[in-house]
Copies of this chain bind each other. A is one copy, B any other.
Amino acid sequence: MPKIIEVKKNVLAKNDEIAARLRQTFAKAGVTVLNLVSSPGAGKTALLVKTLTDLKERFRMGVIEGDQRTANDAERIAATGAPVVQINTLSACHLDASMVETALPEVDLHGLDFLFIENVGNLVCPAGYDLGEAMKVVVMSTTEGEDKPVKYPKMFRVSSAVVLTKTDLLPHLDFDADAAMACARSVNPALVPFRLSVKSGEGLAQWYDWLAALRR
């Protein structure tokens, strides 16, 4: 059973200070930390489950899961065998650095190559909170509109990579993947783009190669 930690929303001016401390801790432990952000339902958990399963022989990976309620996602992650801690934010609409710091004693950073932080599903608020991560990765699915990046620009500006998920559904959708990626890169030209399907496996190799190169 994944561990559940409940924290109250704590709007801290000190968020950046705590995040800087976390970043030092992560660097010292030699762990690469990715903060995964998206709308609810974009497929963050499915991508993590697939990644943890496919790469388990290559890397040691842990997960911090953020949700308002339930440990459903943490249970899906735990089924892969990866260590996972669930943070329930209750009323809060994002993780903040103090929540991650509170959860950290439950995470054995020693020996991890990667720590994935799955943020609360929300394309707005998590953009404002540094969690000490190496980078944010914004996930969007082919079932959302192509113009999400210009409608929620801050999230795409603060992220370093964009993952377009559920590409297996493209034949059934009126969704222009090229337009969506062009839209994302119009907001932030530095975004590293990925297109993949956890279901068909398409595009996963590029995602895995990129992760491998990020390893400290």
Contacts and interface: CB of A to CB of B under 8 A. Distances in A.
Contact of A69 (B145, B153, B169): B153
Interface in A47-82: 67-70, 72-73
A166 interface: yes
A68 B154 contact: yes
A184 to B, nearest CB: 14
Interface in A20-41: 39-41
Contact of A121 (B39, B72, B73, B91): B39
Nearest to A40: B39
A125 B125 contact: yes
A174 B46 CA distance: 12
A188 interface: no
A147 B120 CA distance: 14
Interface residues of A, number: 36
A173 B69 CA distance: 25
Given A141-B41, A152-B40, A125 B68 contact: no
Nearest to A152: B68
27 contacts: A39-B39, A39-B40, A40-B144, A40-B148, A40-B151, A41-B144, A41-B145, A41-B148, A45-B145, A68-B151, A68-B152, A68-B153, A69-B150, A72-B150, A72-B151, A73-B151, A91-B154, A120-B124, A121-B123, A121-B151, A122-B124, A124-B125, A168-B172, A169-B169, A169-B172, A169-B173, A172-B172
Given A40-B151, A68-B151, 12 more contacts: A39-B41, A40-B123, A40-B144, A40-B148, A41-B143, A41-B144, A41-B145, A45-B145, A68-B154, A122-B125, A125-B125, A168-B172
Interface of A: 39-42, 45, 67-70, 72-73, 91, 93, 120-125, 140-141, 143-145, 147-148, 150-154, 166, 168-169, 172-173
